[in-house]
């Protein structure tokens, strides 16, 4: 079992992996259609998206949490 202190990191990793997978797949279909090499194009788009998404979420989530504390009673 993984220690509880890594929960945020693992949560961020999994959420960004799945979200970037779905979004990159949709965008590849919208922009190129179902081309012959779709899985390769999708994987390339996904890995690039995930490389940006994961570190972004590590910075953005704490900022959003601070904003929510100020907004919500």
Question: How does pLDDT run across 3-40, given as a tens digit for each residue?
Answer: 999 999 999 999 999 999 999 999 999 999 999 999 99
Report the distance separating Cα 47 and Cα 24, nearest Å: 9
Report the distance separating Cα 33 and Cα 35, nearest Å: 6
**Which residues form the domain of 13?**
4-71
Classify burial at 20, counting beta carbons within 10 Å of its beta carbon; exposed 0-12, middle 13-18, buried 19 or more: buried
Count the domains in the chain. Answer: 1
6: DSSP letter? G
CB atoms near residue 19 (< 10 Å): 14
Question: How does pLDDT run across 33-50, given as a tens digit for each residue?
Answer: 999 999 999 999 999 999
CB atoms near residue 24 (< 10 Å): 21
pTM (predicted TM-score): 0.79
């Amino acid at each position: 079992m993984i220690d509880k202190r890594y929960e945020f990191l693992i949560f961020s990793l999994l959420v960004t992996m799945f979200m970037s997978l779905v979004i990159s797949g949709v965008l590849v279909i919208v922009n190129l259609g179902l081309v012959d090499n779709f899985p390769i194009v999708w994987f390339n788009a996904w890995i690039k998206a995930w490389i940006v998404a994961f570190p972004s979420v590590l910075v953005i989530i704490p900022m959003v949490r601070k904003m929510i504390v100020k907004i919500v009673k």
